[in-house]
Structure 1
Amino acid sequence: MASLSFFKLALLTPLLLLVLASSTSSVAQLARLQPKIGCQTQCGDVKVDYPFGIGKRCGRSEHFQLLCKRNDRGRFKTFIRGNTLYDLEVSSISVSEGLARIKNPVSWLCYNRTDGSVTFDYSGANLIQTPFWVSNTRNIFIVIGSNAFAYISLNGTNSGYTAGCVAQKFSKESMVKSSCSGIGCCYATIPIRSKSYAMSFSLLDSNFSSSYSICGYAVLTEVNRFRFSTSYLTTPGSFEKDIVNLSVVLDWTIGNEKCELAQRNITSYACVSSHSTCVDYHGLGYRCSCLHGYGGNPYILHGCQIIKDIQRSVPVPLSK
């Protein structure tokens, strides 16, 4: 009987060691996918929460690493890595909403009444090597000018798409305050699945000499924050002044697979907090979210907390 028990133990020992090794490997992998101690969590005005990070091994992967560097005025600003067209400045990132905002790249074309020359600058963004997508529900393509045509070319996972519109020639009488209705201002919607975009600008004619507007603009911007003003057409510099307060909204996903597939690989699955869940995002990947009644960061261990506990941890301002 003793020899039989020993024989069973001898058979089970390698299996137990394999399970233990696998468990240890999973724990080590899980720890590797958590932020290391001492990572920078703020750059200028932008709060950076995991899975994003600043510096080596501070983000979930190199695709989630952001840059923190000084701008021309010596202020620290946050930028997206991997963009090959322009440095894209980040104005905010939300882990709970799965979105980020970046400063607007603007395409423009201006006429010089003195010598008759035309100057221009075309812009865009390339997010292919990043976890970001251009939000089709939160952004809109805007063209401002006199008899001006502009278009935006977008590329996604499978194919390209082009949209554009014509901002018709206007007079002071034809302009409608706060209305982007086609006279001096027009707009176009954009599709889902866009990882990059480029904006081009052209004119239907070059008769600027009799026009109030000597410049035309094309910009992708957050639809809920854009308000058209007739001063953009009549007052030089008015649009440039306001555009600094606008942003492009980006969605982001933690992985490219659906939840069902992601959950099978415990060593890379991102929703590691208790009381967190996985949410498919339009076939583009998945995100993590805290369950109803919980808030916090689902991408870190014990990141989702009961909402009332989170509220208790917030200092209550003293009454005057």
Structure 2
Amino acid sequence: MASLSFFKLALLTPLLLLVLASSTSSVAQLARLQPKIGCQTQCGDVKVDYPFGIGKRCGRSEHFQLLCKRNDRGRFKPFIRGNKLDDLEVSSISVTEGLARIKNPVSSLCYNRTNGYVTFEFAEADLTQTPFWVSNTRNMFIVIGSNVFAYISLNGTKSGYTAGCVAQKLSKESMVKSSCSGIGCCEATIPIRSKLYFMLIDGSFSNVSSFNTCGHAVLTEVDRFRFSTSYLTTPGSFEKDIVNLSVVLDWTIGNEKCELAHVMVS
């Protein structure tokens, strides 16, 4: 039995040395990654923990720096700096989960019955100079409207992917309450996580019904979206509800896993 115990110890010794070496490396990283004294840790109702920071030299690097400013509703919120595009409003950041949530950019096409004009808005987001990625497992591409085709392009046209969705033509009788199954509402999965995306409604294909004058396309958190027929029958209903939903982002510290970020702030 003594020889067997010695044999087990001989096998375990290299593993123990490896664990100690790894722990020493983590301690060294921990010593380097500390928030600076005096940096703002709250913006409005959103807590901002290290490695993120508000303002210059308060985050782990410039890529982790957030802006604290008023949003379009006059409330202070943190924003991710836009890379040649608009800054993105942050709803929450979790260091323990390695997740963040941002306000949904929305694409739309609307018909004005009074003057006959059609107005377009397309939404896009650029995270290429940030530690964030759009999660492909926690978000869904949603299209709302009557005979509306929209698509989302991920990571650019050369090396990226495109997902499309058609919300079929409908009548009031054909609408199904709380069902996003193709009639008036459709959904598509996101094949890859991405740093860059834009969403566009195809005006050459899409049109509107007698009671629904707008089509919308949005990327949003799949677990929280619930379709309502009021989005098709009540102007402004969709815009009001979508404010309370978010796009989910993953984030990492360089090549390290998010779990390491949690260790560094514990």
- Shorter chain as denominator, the TM-score bin is 0.7 to 0.9
Q: Which moved more, 1:198-207 or 1:230-239?
A: 198-207
Tell me the distance in 1 between the aligned counterparts of 2:207 and 2:248: 35
CA, structure 1 residues 206+153, in 2 after alignment: closer, same or farther (shift >3 Å)?
A: closer
Alignment correspondent of 1:223 = 222
Q: Contact 1:35/1:57 (CA < 8 Å) preserved in 2?
A: no
Tell me the distance in 2 between the aligned counterparts of 1:195 and 1:249: 12
Q: Contact 2:97/2:258 (CA < 8 Å) preserved in 1?
A: no
Unpaired runs of 5+ residues, structure 1, are 1-25, 258-284, 291-296, 304-320
Q: Deviations over 1:206-254 (max 9, x none)?
A: 653x521100000000000000011111111110110100100000011
Alignment correspondent of 1:163 = 163
Unpaired runs of 5+ residues, structure 2, are 1-26
Equivalent position amino acid for 2:233 in 1: T
Task: Report the CA distance between 1:121 and its aligned residue.
Answer: 0.6
Alignment correspondent of 1:34 = 34
Q: Deviations over 1:267-286 (max 9, x none)?
A: xxxxxxxxxxxxxxxxxx52
Task: Report the CA distance between 1:164 and its aligned residue.
Answer: 0.6
Alignment correspondent of 1:265 = none
Alignment correspondent of 2:13 = none
CA, structure 1 residues 184+39, in 2 after alignment: closer, same or farther (shift >3 Å)?
A: same
Alignment correspondent of 1:128 = 128
Task: Report the CA distance between 1:57 and its aligned residue.
Answer: 1.8
The structure having more radius of gyration, on CA atoms, is 1
Task: Report the CA distance between 1:70 and its aligned residue.
Answer: 2.2
Q: Which of 299, 302, 305 is the aligned partner of 2:264?
A: 299
* Alignment RMSD: 2.2
Alignment correspondent of 1:246 = 245
Equivalent position amino acid for 2:226 in 1: R
Task: Report the CA distance between 1:38 and its aligned residue.
Answer: 1.1
Task: Report the CA distance between 1:298 and its aligned residue.
Answer: 1.3
Tell me the distance in 1 between the aligned counterparts of 2:237 and 2:143: 15
Tell me the distance in 1 between the aligned counterparts of 2:138 and 2:206: 33
Task: Report the CA distance between 1:205 and its aligned residue.
Answer: 5.0
Tell me the distance in 2 between the aligned counterparts of 1:83 and 1:97: 25
**Sequence identity percentage:** 81
Tell me the distance in 2 between the aligned counterparts of 1:252 and 1:287: 7
Alignment correspondent of 2:149 = 149
Alignment correspondent of 1:201 = 201
> When the two structures are superposed, what TM-score results if normalisation uses the length of structure 1?
0.70
Q: Which has the higher contact order (CA 8 A, sep 6+)?
A: 2
Task: Report the CA distance between 1:172 and its aligned residue.
Answer: 1.2
CA, structure 1 residues 35+206, in 2 after alignment: closer, same or farther (shift >3 Å)?
A: closer
Q: Which of 275, 286, 297 is the aligned partner of 2:257?
A: 286
Tell me the distance in 2 between the aligned counterparts of 1:202 and 1:134: 23
CA, structure 1 residues 73+247, in 2 after alignment: closer, same or farther (shift >3 Å)?
A: closer
